[in-house]
């Protein structure tokens, strides 16, 4: 193994910095990729060119595995760690060609409560510092593109406010040195949308000029906020435009975290540069004062956004601690977005491993969040179908669901979690069986991976295995990849290989033809266990509006807490006898889904009393990062 296993297990960053990495060009060569297929970002990370997909598109695809989990504690239950450990077992120990495909971590949680997301122990993607921080700049590209559109919207309101139609026309269609005017590319798209078949600006009538150029944005209806990749609760609600040059056009708005940006969702769901350009143009920014929906294309910014995002569309190639390949791309959260890595990364990986290989991806949070959206949203966008689902469970999380004491990040675990307690564990198994049932709703074989901790006993693991098999799982296997690397996940890998050999009968949970409410209620009752759904008047109006605008055939991306199967984070186990409250419904038309907001869900996290950044520092003598987890 390229990294020496020692006991006790050192901190993640110490393990990562002691690893012997292969040059990423060598990792790429093992997949059949050459220098012309890569843009190198130093020695150990690279971007994969998009034309690779065209070149390998006729090759047979490998097996497709999605790693999900039971409802987690605030500590997380090790999905990324399991994804990496499984791929290390498949590739480095069983001789199968395997690629781990994961999301890029957000620096918000990295410096907040959760810490990094490169895996952990001896199952990590490296270099972990690069992965958890800037990597190749994709997060920054999303932030810049998103905020450019926000700035463009406010600027357009301002410039339309103080300029008459003729002055606005001359500013937006300026004459060149010979007095000739031309339309910007985005204007030509808007002309087509408006049904105006003219290519010469001077041929427009005064009425056509007004229709084309005066968007008449309603400041109170602007839905496009700004984003930043930092947990900052004080930016949730702000006022902008307070300076004298903004002519009294101040308004209330706010910030979301970058992972919640619709542009991030587009990055994850798009299939090509052309598709991304079209999706960016379809993003809604608000409405006009007459109630007409307005898009990024109408504002004239979509082309610039595509230019900012062009390089970010190329997936990032890294490696695991055991030198097996890993692709990292996109980073939407699963509670406030669809929570999966990119379609493009999965498509490339499945062709590179070939028909005898395995691509292991992960879906955010529990199966009620990321896996449901993987099936109903990502698989619709990609056309891909999974061969197996791995459900990660931990003894500590199951005890929590059985009524154990509160688990809090940064605080020692109560004794109930470090001593054998079969009664508490048994009561919490309802959460595991609910998630197994949810996976089977999609017709995909499920394997349970018990991510093993030092305090877990053989009797506890046996109880979990028995319950999992009784609930319909193909197998339930204890895995020790955190402490032992790929060698600790060989039994899990063998179970996954066996499950993938069985012919599943994949099916979506709902057809797109169903109405918006029926799709929401199907997820609420079948996945969450609710008795029904209650809508606020705001949600009712939004559903009527989106149905009228023709958005009713989009899939739905539920925004809810990840800490419960329900909308209430305090309800553990498998809650029943409740109704799911939907307080609002928003449209991400560019990404291609509607997202109902359930309960008290926030799109900008806050920092805790003791954030993770307090342990992070730089060793000035060596230049190495210390304290990153």
Kindly tell me the burial class for residue 55, based on how many C-beta atoms sit within 10 Å of its own C-beta (0-12, 13-18, 19 or more).
Answer: middle
Other CB atoms within a 10 A radius of the CB of residue 518 amount to 12
CA distance 269 to 179: 44
Q: Exactly one of 183, 374, 442, 482 is catalytic; which is it?
A: 482
Dist CA 597 CA 561 (whole Å):
10
| Candidates 45, 47, 63, 79; catalytic one | 79
Tokens 């807490």, residue located: 561
Active site residue 103: yes
Query: CA nearest 146: which of 316, 338, 309?
Result: 309
Per annotation, catalytic residue among 111, 169, 333, 365:
365
DSSP code string of 182-250: ---HHHHHHHHHHT-----GGG--HHHHHHHH---B-GGG----EEESS--GGGSSEEE--SGGGTT--
Q: Which of 453, 508, 514, 571 is catalytic?
A: 453
Catalytic residue (one of 117, 123, 334, 381): 334
Tell me, yes or no, if 621 is annotated catalytic: no
* Cα separation, 438 vs 432, whole angstroms: 10
The whole-angstrom separation of Cα 109 and Cα 134 is 14
Secondary structure of residue 340 in the 3-state scheme: strand
114 is catalytic: yes
Going by C-beta distance under 8 Å and a sequence separation of 6 or more, which residues neighbour residue 196? 204, 208, 211, 212
The active-site residue, picked from 68, 71, 81, 83, is: 81
Residues 623 and 620: their CA atoms lie apart, in Å, by 5
* d(C-alpha 340, C-alpha 103), whole Å: 7
Locate tokens 């769901």: which residue?
269
Sign of CA dihedral 23, 29, 35, 41: negative
In Å, how far are 166, 186, 573 from 303, measured between CA atoms? Answer: 25, 7, 47
Cα separations (Å) of 150 from 143, 214, 240, 241?
A: 11, 18, 11, 12
Active site (annotated) includes residue 399: no
Q: Report the distance separating Cα 531 and Cα 237, nearest Å.
A: 34
Q: How many angstroms separate the CA atoms of 291 and 216, rounded?
A: 10
CB 573 within 8 A of CB 590: no
334 labelled catalytic: yes
d(CA 79, CA 182): 53
45, 63, 103, 347: the active-site residue: 103
Q: How far is CA 588 from CA 219, 279, 591, 595, in A?
A: 19, 10, 5, 7
81 belongs to the catalytic site: yes
Contact 395, 464 (CB under 8 A): yes
> Beta strands 38-40 and 325-328: pairing type?
unpaired
Residue 41: how many other CB atoms lie within 10 Å = 18
What is the token pair recorded at 210?
């007004």
DSSP 8-class letter at 570: T
Question: Active site residue: 96, 114, 225, 427, which one?
Answer: 114
Name the 3-class secondary structure at 534: strand
Q: Do 34 and 525 form a contact (C-beta atoms < 8 A)?
A: no
**What are the residue numbers of the active site?**
79, 81, 103, 114, 334, 365, 453, 482
């Amino acid at each position: 193994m390229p990294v020496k296993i020692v006991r006790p297990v050192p901190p993640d960053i110490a393990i990562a910095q002691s690893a012997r990495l292969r040059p990423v060009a060598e990792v790429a060569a093992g997949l059949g990729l050459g220098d012309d297929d890569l843009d190198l970002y130093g020695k150990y990370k690279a971007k994969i060119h998009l034309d690779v997909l065209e070149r390998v598109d006729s090759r047979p695809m490998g097996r497709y595995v999605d790693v999900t989990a039971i409802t987690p504690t605030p500590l997380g239950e090790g999905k990324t760690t399991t994804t990496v450990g499984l791929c290390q077992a498949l590739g480095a120990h069983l001789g199968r060609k395997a690629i781990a495909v994961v999301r890029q971590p957000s620096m918000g949680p990295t410096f907040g409560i959760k810490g990094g997301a490169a895996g952990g122990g001896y199952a990590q993607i490296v270099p972990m510092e690069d992965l958890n921080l800037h990597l190749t700049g994709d997060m920054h590209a999303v932030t810049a593109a998103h905020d450019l559109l926000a700035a463009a919207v406010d600027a357009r309101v301002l410039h339309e406010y103080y300029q008459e139609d003729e002055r606005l026309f001359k500013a937006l269609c300026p004459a060149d040195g010979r007095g000739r005017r031309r339309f910007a590319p985005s204007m030509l798209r808007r002309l087509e949308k408006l049904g105006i078949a003219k290519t010469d600006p001077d041929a427009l009538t005064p009425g056509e000029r007004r229709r084309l150029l005066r968007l008449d944005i309603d400041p109170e209806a602007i839905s496009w906020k700004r984003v930043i990749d930092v947990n900052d609760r004080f930016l949730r609600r702000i006022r902008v435009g307070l300076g004298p040059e903004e002519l009294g056009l101040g308004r209330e708005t706010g910030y979301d975290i970058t992972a919640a940006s619709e542009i991030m969702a587009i990055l994850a769901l798009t299939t090509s540069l052309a598709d991304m350009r079209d999706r960016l143009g379809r993003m809604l920014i608000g409405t006009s004062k007459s109630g007409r929906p307005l898009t990024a294309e109408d504002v004239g910014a979509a082309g610039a956004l595509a230019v900012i995002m062009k390089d970010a569309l190329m997936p990032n190639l890294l490696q695991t601690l055991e030198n097996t390949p890993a692709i990292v791309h996109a980073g939407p959260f699963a509670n406030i977005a669809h929570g999966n890595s990119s379609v493009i990364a999965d498509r490339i990986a499945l062709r590179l491993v070939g028909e005898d290989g395995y691509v292991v991806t992960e879906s955010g949070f529990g199966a009620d969040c990321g896996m449901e959206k993987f099936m109903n949203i990502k698989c619709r966008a990609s056309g891909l179908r999974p061969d197996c689902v791995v459900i990660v469970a931990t003894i500590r999380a199951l005890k929590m669901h059985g009524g154990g004491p509160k688990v809090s990040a940064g605080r020692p675990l109560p004794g109930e979690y470090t001593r054998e307690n079969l009664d508490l564990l048994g009561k919490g198994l309802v959460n595991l069986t609910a998630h197994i049932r949810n996976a089977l709703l999609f017709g995909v074989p499920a394997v349970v991976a018990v991510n093993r901790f030092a305090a877990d006993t053989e009797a506890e693991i046996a109880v979990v295995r028995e319950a999992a098999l009784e609930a319909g799982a193909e197998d339930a296997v204890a895995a020790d990849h955190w402490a032992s690397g790929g060698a600790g996940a060989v039994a899990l890998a063998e179970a996954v290989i066996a499950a993938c050999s069985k012919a599943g009968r994949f099916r979506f949970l709902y057809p797109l033809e169903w109405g918006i409410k029926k799709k929401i209620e199907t997820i609420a009752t079948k996945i969450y266990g609710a008795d029904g759904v209650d809508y606020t008047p705001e949600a009712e109006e939004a559903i009527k509006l989106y149905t009228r605008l023709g958005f009713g055939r989009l899939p739905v991306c539920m925004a809810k807490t990840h800490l419960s199967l329900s909308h209430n984070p305090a309800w553990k186990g498998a809650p029943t006898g409740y109704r799911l409250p939907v307080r609002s419904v928003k449209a991400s038309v560019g990404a291609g889904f509607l997202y109902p907001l359930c309960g008290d869900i926030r799109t900008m996290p806050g920092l805790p009393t003791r954030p993770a950044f307090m342990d992070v520092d730089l060793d000035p003598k060596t230049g190495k990062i210390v304290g990153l987890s």
